[in-house]
Amino acid sequence: MGIMLAITAVYGALFAVAAKSWRNRTGVALRLDVLPKRAAVPLAVRLPVLLVGAAFAFRVTGWPVWLIAASLIGAAASVGFHLAFVRLHRKTA
């Protein structure tokens, strides 16, 4: 449980680093408000729940498939979120 909470905290820290890097490189702040709230809010809430829930499922069942599936879903959601963000920024630029 502690490891999964730490991983979730690292994920948030990496997001902050990415936001700072984006701002330094482009001069534009990373604005999540340009994304539709119907997509951004559920993702921001469900992704940490998915990662921590997978750790619980792994602990109960002992099957590493839960961790692998959660990692793949999290990576796919993150990449999709990034691509949507870049596409929306290109439209406004």
**What percentage of the chain reaches a pLDDT higher than 70?**
87
Give the largest Cα separation in the chain, rounded: 49
The predicted-structure confidence for 33-46, as pLDDT tens digits, reads as follows 667 777 778 888 88
The predicted-structure confidence for 16-25, as pLDDT tens digits, reads as follows 888 888 788 8
Confidence at residue 60, expressed as pLDDT on a 0 to 100 scale: 95
Residues 46-63: what's their mean pLDDT? 89
Q: At what angle do helices 37-61 and 2-26 cross, to 10 degrees?
A: 150
Residues 46-65: what's their mean pLDDT? 90
Instruction: Give 12's contacts (C-beta < 8 A, 6+ positions apart).
Output: none
DSSP one-letter code for 32: G
